[in-house]
């Protein structure tokens, strides 16, 4: 979500695209034209003890040993490991660990922290699959208890029945992309010349930033809670709250707490059995999907690798069903060092990715958008929809007074069974389920119904069930005190990638899109895509329509019928 000004005409300046010069404020705050960039890193104040933790992997099988890497300036700390969910349960307590402070490299965001193993824990053989939260507790100034959190998944045990269980795929590629711990992520940071650039290479061997694993009730989300008044300025409540309360700037963009956990809690409260794996498992353990009828992705899954997509495509072709209640399917990443590093050059891949200019398959791994002709694998081919034809809704000055709901166009589809929705009805508006990013495809209307044009890789048979307006950036109307936080940089990128043109006419053409709910069959399987980050908001706020549609999808995909 970098901010940029549009060019008047001509070729695109890839090398300087979307980045602004920043100046340092202190160890964990930077400023730019779109606000403050602040990050977590170990401090050196003996009056402010800390305890940071990360694990050697993202997921484990029952019976595996988890290695915990800890740096602590607190002399003692306690550890509790919880299986998170509708009813969090304690899996282990490891009290009275000895705190040892270890040096942290200045480029830990890219190369990892390199701390030694502090202790280990063997996952019990009968441990249920799920998302596990590691709570590290220690005494702060005055003796009050402080906590720091980490997360890992326990995969389902081999041989357990799976056909009637939902498999939740945690969007760890996107978590990594937004995790700014140590000084940088794929958006902003202290990397590069002058120490003011994002990092194209990110390590997973570091803690998660505050807010990615656990959040207090009521923490603001990225999307607007209410329309911007006429002439009013755009507010970014989540960023303001993060700065005021010491949370990660990007906590509302990614992480277990904001998205994946919200779905898991809702599903368990509604009687669904849920197992958990990570996106990284899709690449390194594709067999993790074997035996499941229904795989689910929720929230914000912006970053995928080629191999992750291969696993999903194969699962669907063999008869699997994918329910996606998430959005912004945009970037290809490469995982290196057995998954310990993630590479994504994004907007500047054509100039700076080491795979630029290569021919054949290596060039296809260019870490650009899936719709880039140099990649040649449109995102819609896997999920039916893609980010470049959707993206921003109800954030800042991007559709700031939109309804926040979807307009129904095919009310007789099985997904709407029992909802009493009619053609033209709106659902999800009271909860604000459309935002902050959405996906769509190029489309046209015939006889009052939307149809994909298929010029962007949309699969044959894709049915567009509902729609909402979206834009590729913000329109700055110069209201006093207003500083757009997104600008038009993504529209410029879309114009360059799709049209090879950044003239005003091309920028105008690129600016508009739509969020969609869509469904299609491929091979022996099926994909349902409710392509908005905030679908889970409808579940947590008790939106009856959103809940009923979700149940219809899960029941059908688990082998029953839409109820």
| DSSP collapsed to 3 states, 41-73 | CCCCCCCCCCEEEEECCCEECCCCEEEEEEEEC
Spell out the residues 6+ positions from residue 123 whose beta carbon is closer than 8 angstroms to its own: 60, 61, 62, 63, 64, 65, 66, 154
**What's the pTM value of the predicted model, to 2 decimals?**
0.93
Q: Which of 320, 507, 521, 325 is nearest to 433 (CA)?
A: 325
| Contact call for residues 341 and 335 (beta carbons, < 8 A) | yes
Strands (E), 164-280: 166-170, 201-203, 274-278
Rounded to the nearest 5°, which phi and psi values hold at 33?
-65, -20
Please, how many CA atoms are within 13 Å of residue 302, restricted to the half-sphere of its CB? 27
* Peptide bond preceding 436 in cis form (omega within 30 of 0): yes
Structure tokens at 560: 């029953």
**Using CA atoms, how far apart are residues 492 and 13, in angstroms rounded to an integer?**
10
| Contact call for residues 399 and 469 (beta carbons, < 8 A) | yes
pLDDT < 70 stretches in the chain: 1-36, 359-362, 560-563
- Quickly tell me which residue has 């290479």 as its tokens: 201
pLDDT for residue 284? 98
3-class SS of residue 379: coil
pLDDT for residue 7? 30
Read out DSSP for 304-331? EEHHHHHHHHHHHHTT-EEEEEEE---E
Structure tokens at 237: 């409540």
pLDDT for residue 38? 81
Find the DSSP H helices in 220-348. 237-245, 261-269, 279-284, 306-317
3-class SS of residue 194: helix
**Using CA atoms, how far apart are residues 29 and 243, in angstroms rounded to an integer?**
10
Contacts 24+ apart (CB under 8 A), 134-137: 134/53, 134/55, 134/68, 134/79, 134/80, 134/81, 135/79, 135/80, 135/81, 135/82, 136/51, 136/52, 136/53, 136/70, 136/72, 136/77, 136/78, 136/79, 137/77, 137/78, 137/79, 137/80
3-state percent breakdown (helix, strand, coil) of the chain, nearest 5: 20, 30, 50
| Contact call for residues 138 and 72 (beta carbons, < 8 A) | yes
**Structure confidence by residue, pLDDT tens digits, 176-187:** 999 999 999 999
Q: Structural domains in the chain?
A: 51-155 (2.60.40.1930), 200-205+253-557 (3.40.50)
| Contact call for residues 345 and 368 (beta carbons, < 8 A) | yes
Rounded to the nearest 5°, which phi and psi values hold at 259?
-125, -70
**Using CA atoms, how far apart are residues 406 and 137, in angstroms rounded to an integer?**
43
Spell out the residues 6+ positions from residue 309 whose beta carbon is closer than 8 angstroms to its own: 377, 382
**Using CA atoms, how far apart are residues 112 and 126, in angstroms rounded to an integer?**
32
Please give the span between the terminal C-alpha atoms of the chain, in angstroms, as a whole number.
39
Handedness of CA 522, 525, 527, 528 (dihedral sign): positive
Helix 261-269 / helix 544-557 crossing angle, nearest 10 deg: 80
| Contact call for residues 398 and 392 (beta carbons, < 8 A) | yes
């Amino acid at each position: 979500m970098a901010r940029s000004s549009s060019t008047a005409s001509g070729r695109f300046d890839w090398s300087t695209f979307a980045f602004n010069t920043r100046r340092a404020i202190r160890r964990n705050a930077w400023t730019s034209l779109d606000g403050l960039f602040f990050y977590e890193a170990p401090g050196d104040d003996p009056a402010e003890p800390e305890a940071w933790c990360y694990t050697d992997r993202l997921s484990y099988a029952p019976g595996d040993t988890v290695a915990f890497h800890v740096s602590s300036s607190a002399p003692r700390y306690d550890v509790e490991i919880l299986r998170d969910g509708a009813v969090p349960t304690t899996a282990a307590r490891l009290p009275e660990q000895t705190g040892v402070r270890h040096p942290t490299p200045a480029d830990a965001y890219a190369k990892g922290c390199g701390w030694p193993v502090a202790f280990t824990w063997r996952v019990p053989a009968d441990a249920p699959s799920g998302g596990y939260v590691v709570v590290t507790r220690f005494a702060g100034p005055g003796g009050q208890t402080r906590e720091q959190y980490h997360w890992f998944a326990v995969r389902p045990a081999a041989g357990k029945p799976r056909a009637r269980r939902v498999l939740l795929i945690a969007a760890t590629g996107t978590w990594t992309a937004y995790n700014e711990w140590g000084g940088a992520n794929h958006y902003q940071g202290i990397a590069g010349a002058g120490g003011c650039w994002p990092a194209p290479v990110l390590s997973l061997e570091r803690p998660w930033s505050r807010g990615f694993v656990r959040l207090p009730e009521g923490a603001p989300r990225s999307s607007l809670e209410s329309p911007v008044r006429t002439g009013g300025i755009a507010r970014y409540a989540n960023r303001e709250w993060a700065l005021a309360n010491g949370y990660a700037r990007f906590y509302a963009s990614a992480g277990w707490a904001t998205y994946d956990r919200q779905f898991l809690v809702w599903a368990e409260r509604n009687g669904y059995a849920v197992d958990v794996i990570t996106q990284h498992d899709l690449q390194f353990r594709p067999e993790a999907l074997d035996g499941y009828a229904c795989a689910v992705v929720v929230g914000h899954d912006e970053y995928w690798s080629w191999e992750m997509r291969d696993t999903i495509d194969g699962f669907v072709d063999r008869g699997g069903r994918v329910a996606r209640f998430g959005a912004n399917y945009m970037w290809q990443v490469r995982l290196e060092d057995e998954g310990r590093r993630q590479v994504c050059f994004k907007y500047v891949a054509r100039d700076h990715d080491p795979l630029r200019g290569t021919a054949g398959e290596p060039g296809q791994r260019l870490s650009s958008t899936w719709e880039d002709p140099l990649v040649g694998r449109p995102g819609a081919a896997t999920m039916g929809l893609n980010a470049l034809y959707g993206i921003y809704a109800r954030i800042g000055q991007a559709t700031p007074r939109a309804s926040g709901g979807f307009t129904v166009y095919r009310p007789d589809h099985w997904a709407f069974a029992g909802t009493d929705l009619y053609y033209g009805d709106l659902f999800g508006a009271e909860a604000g389920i459309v935002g902050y990013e959405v996906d769509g495809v190029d489309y046209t209307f015939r006889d009052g119904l939307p149809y994909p044009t298929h010029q962007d890789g949309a699969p044959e048979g894709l049915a567009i069930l509902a729609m909402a307006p979206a834009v590729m950036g913000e329109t700055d109307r110069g209201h006093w005190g207003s500083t757009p936080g997104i600008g038009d940089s993504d529209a410029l990128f879309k114009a360059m990638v799709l049209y090879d043109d950044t003239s005003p006419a091309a920028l105008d053409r690129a600016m508009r899109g739509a969020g969609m709910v869509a469904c299609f069959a491929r091979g022996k399987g099926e994909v349902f895509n409710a392509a908005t980050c905030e679908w889970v908001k409808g579940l947590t706020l008790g939106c009856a329509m959103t809940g009923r549609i979700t149940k219809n999808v899960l029941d059908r995909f688990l082998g029953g019928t839409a109820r």
